[in-house]
With several copies, the nearest count.
Chain A
Amino acid sequence: MNPFKLNTKTTWCPGCGNFGILESLSQVLEEASLKPQDVLVVSGIGQAAKLPHYIHAHGMNTLHGRAVPAAMGAHVANPALKLILTSGDGDTYGEGGNHLLHGIRRNLDIVHMVHDNQVYGLTKGQGSPTTAFGQVTRLQYDGMKSDPLNPMAFAISVGCGFVARSFSGDPKHLKEIIKAAMAYKGYALIDILQPCVSFNQVNTFKWYKDRVFKLPETYDPHDKVRAFEMAQQFGDEGIPIGILYQEQKTDFLGRFSHLEKPLVQYERSPKAVDTLLDELL
């Protein structure tokens, strides 16, 4: 039995893409020979963000939009835990946009899985930052008035070292990408196309299925400008899935040379201030 699996009933709708993501993640974690005690799954608020309740591992179901800084704190406290962030497109790119930007600048060592259903699911169907321009939603009766965010181009431009896209409807591909992200030391962003059967009647399973294509073997993910160009492709012209961009750089904690071990492992004593007090004499 996969130790990450729980018997909990989810609150997701039958047919939702979230199930595939949960399943793929659980499998990858098991295949990596990790134990539930080795993994911390952090999320914000939303349908996707309920995932930590459905997997047997340490979990933090935080606030809407605030998963990234919470994950940073957890990570600096105890980097021994494998850190997974799993949240929605609204959570990540909407309310949480600023934290994503700066989390990437820090190059936190994290696997950030965005369940991108191009809609606000939990709040019943409003447009999200990735909803297409003009698309009609349960709130935007007259169509979206903002240009959609391009998460891949965004991540590449702000210096993310692992930028990938996958599709909940292609578990094999998804697992591969999650594995690669877990192997990467630094900020690994995976935007996962995830059909929302209840509120997104445009970007359906079929819609995605008909458009996604795997990046060719010949594609070199190390050319930033080329990656940016590839990231421009979305929609009817096809949607590339795979690792669009990859670059190695020192991760956040690697930049602090003065720490010899995880913060949580230091024994501390009030006596530590004695020498500091001496400086004030």
Chain B
Amino acid sequence: MKKTIVIGGAAGEGINTAAQFVERMVKEKGLYFLSYKNYMSRVRGGYNFTTLTVSDVPVHSICDEADFFLALNEEATQFAKLHTAPDGLIATTETTSESGLISLKSEALDAIKNKNSGTMAGVGAIAAYLGFERDKLMHLEQTKWSEVINRQNAEAAALGYALFQSVEHPVWQLKEPEKPQIMLNGNTAVALGAIAAGAGFYCAYPMAPSTGIMAYLMKKQKTTHMLVEQAEDEIAAMMAAIGAASNGVRAMTGTSGGGFSLMVESLGFAAVSEVPLVACNVQRPGPATGLPTRTEQADLLFTLFASQGEFARIVLAPTSVSDAFYTTFRAFNLAEKYQVPVLILTDQYLADSTVTTNRFETEALKIERYTQTEPIEDYKRYEFENYIGNRKYPGIDSQSVIMTDSHVHDVYGHVSEAQDVTNALKQKMMAKMKMILEDLNKPELVGVSDYKHLMIAWGSTAGIVREAVEMLNENGQKVAALCFSDIYPMSENVLEAYVKPGVTVVNVEGNATNQFGKLLRMETGVKYARSINRYDGRPFTAKGIVQSMEVIVNESI
């Protein structure tokens, strides 16, 4: 069973608050959800909406079509009529007699003199629609607001609840989850991954949709003994992270494409001076300012080749909120192991999707620093044939003196223009890439093993594709998907085991130029036969992918 709730209205009308109440109820009920914020680049007004897909199994994708639409103003009501399933319900805070619309308005509601009463009635209505017990509304009384407001909210919700109590209710297959469930979005997961990895310093400049990482870390900096600093610009943010990382503190920065563009030179500095830097690019649609609050996966090739010259780097693209946590954690170990910058690519979809997911396991996580604390005579910080475990930083012992340099440099970190040094430095970079390759995770194959069509997806789209495969397999389609979370370096043979004669490769990406498809061809020689792309700033949905795949599968019959 799966139900999709949409809450639409203007910025400032309480969409987020309403969604949070619903999320909490859903979770307490023991159900799963994924809720995604679809908002404009403005502070008040406009048309925004949150889509909440609720299910008795974990959810990786929203549905575009609402089963229940809560419209908080006139404009939203118009949208509701277009985006609600034929058998769906539309509740509006407007007065209406139009058929198909149910008004939440009543004299009793008006009597509650509170500007949010309509929204709260909507929360009640949703609770009733989903078949929840009335006491699930209790949260409305336990908030940071005043007692009066809490009571008014609860009253309004009760009115909405009453109105929808008698509609048909979904029958949930409730089962106790194996593991305790937590509720968070992709940005928070990245932040938690960094904390788990022992990051001490985070420095960034505000930029949608990445600001949430900094905001969470800032809120927690006291308990986590971190220092979180808003930089004057993104160049400073990354340089400061490098400064800290090269002095022994795990450090990170985060931004979106425009900010990452500004960090490109510094990235090369981290690489050539072998500083373990972690940076997260939360992608949004470009070019340039693009669509600040929307989603896209169009920074991949840019991220892979950003900065002048050639150097070792790692690119990871978590496929889900939970993966975002573990991948970020792993990023720090990889960065310190190979002394390379690690770039994490997420996107607005992942960043602004809140989900229920298994509580992260910290038992098995181990911080591995690969530093050298033993005193060493004539220590060579940058020995050309020493890749792992030789790292010292200033102050790590009482005798070493450490040099960090942005030029071609010798084993001590001092500028050199010698030909052999130049060659050796380059070869070290290339050798690292080979070693890293062995350490990265292989892509995950999901779906039936006798597939005829193989979808390929990376990052957040892979999460959605996973759900699409399940649906396709349920429909009897012989489809599988290869899901990439670890992106680069990439093995020339990565597809060998999967792309067999008779298999049609379908590339699925949130961009127009099939960047991952290009990368695969570049590295493996395999070119996808078909592709499914979305680049209107909105996320894929599993259902949308299923529909596109059905067309493709039918074509080839």
**Contact A77-B200, Cβ < 8 Å, known A45-B406, A70-B243:** yes
Q: Give the contacts of A38-92 with B (CB-CB under 8 A).
A: 40, 42, 45, 47, 50, 52-53, 56-66, 68-78, 80-81
Residues A73 and B240 in contact, CB atoms below 8 Å apart: yes
**Is B207's beta carbon under 8 Å from chain A?**
yes
Any chain B CB within 8 A of the CB of A208? no
A7 CB, min distance to chain B CBs, angstroms: 12
Contact B394 A76 (CB under 8 A): no
B401: which A residues are within 8 A, CB to CB? 36-37, 56-58
Q: Which B-chain residue is minimally distant from A97 (CB atoms)? A: B232
Chain B neighbourhood of A129, CB < 8 A = 232
Beta-carbon contact of B248 and A264 below 8 Å: yes
A126–B206 touching, CB < 8 Å: yes
Pick from B39-47, B52-60, B97-105, B311-319 the stretch touching chain A: B39-47
State which residues 159-183 of B face A: CB under 8 Å.
180-183
Is B183's CB under 8 angstroms from A263's CB?
A: no
How close is A66's CB to chain B, nearest CB, in angstroms?
5
- A73/B182 in contact, CB under 8 A: no
A26 to chain B, nearest CB (A): 14
Contact A69 B230 (CB under 8 A): no
Which of B358-366, B450-458, B473-481 is the interface stretch?
B358-366
A172 within 8 A of B: no
- Residues in A with CB closer than 8 Å to B77 are none
Q: Per-residue 0/1 for B488-513: is the Cβ within 8 Å of any A Cβ (1 yes, 0 no)?
A: 00000000000000000000000000
Q: Does B223 contact A (CB under 8 A)?
A: yes
**A2 contacts the other chain (CB 8 A):** no
A111 to chain B, nearest CB (A): 16
Least CB distance, A262 to chain B, in whole angstroms? 9
CA distance A74 to B188 in the complex (A): 26
A65 contact from B233, B292, B359, B405, Cβ within 8 A: B233
**Bound Cα distance A98, B236 (Å):** 9
Given A11-B45, A276-B192, does the pair A281, B232 have CB atoms closer than 8 Å?
no
| Nearest CB on A from B392, distance (A) | 10
Q: Give the tally of cross-chain contacts (CB within 8 A).
A: 258
A275 at the interface (CB under 8 A from B): yes
User: When the two chains form their complex, are residues B367 and A270 in contact, meaning their CB atoms are under 8 A apart?
Assistant: yes
Chain B 192-244 interface residues, beta-carbon cutoff 8 Å to A:
192, 195-198, 200-201, 203, 205-208, 211, 214-215, 218-227, 229-233, 235-237, 239-244
Residues of B in contact, count (CB < 8 Å):
90
User: Are A271 and B362 in touch, CB under 8 angstroms?
Assistant: yes
Given A139-B206, A272-B198, A63-B404 contact (CB < 8 Å): no
Inter-chain contacts of B192 with A (CB < 8 A): 273, 276-277
Q: Smallest distance from the beta carbon of B10 to chain A beta carbons, Å? A: 11
Contact across chains for A122 and B248 when beta carbons are under 8 A apart: no
Contacts of B399 in A (CB 8 A): 37
Residue numbers in B under 8 Å from A70 (CB-CB)? 239-240, 242-243
Counting chain A residues whose Cβ lies within 8 A of the other chain, the interface size class is 35 or more
- Whether B248 pairs with A62 at a CB distance below 8 angstroms is no
Residue ID in chain B nearest A40 by CB atoms: B394
Within 16-58 of B, Cβ neighbours of A (below 8 Å) are at 40-46
Asked if A263 contacts B200 (CB within 8 A), the reply is: yes
In the assembled complex, A269 has its CB within 8 A of some CB on chain B: yes
Asked if A259 and B245 make an inter-chain contact with CB atoms under 8 angstroms apart, the answer reads no
A67 to B9, CA, bound (A): 33
> What B residues does A101 contact at CB under 8 A?
232
B231 partner residues in chain A, CB cutoff 8 A: 69, 102
Cβ of B243 and Cβ of A74 under 8 Å apart? yes
Shortest C-beta distance, B485 to chain A (Å), equals 19
Task: State which of A74, A198, A260, A266 has its C-beta within 8 Å of the C-beta of B200.
Answer: A266
A-B contact pairs, 5 of them (CB 8 A): A76-B249, A95-B205, A139-B215, A263-B249, A277-B192
Residues on A facing B (Cβ under 8 Å)? 8, 11-14, 36-37, 40, 42, 45, 47, 50, 52-53, 56-66, 68-78, 80-81, 94-95, 97-99, 101-102, 120-124, 126-127, 129, 138-142, 145, 198-199, 256, 258-260, 263-264, 266, 268-277, 280-281
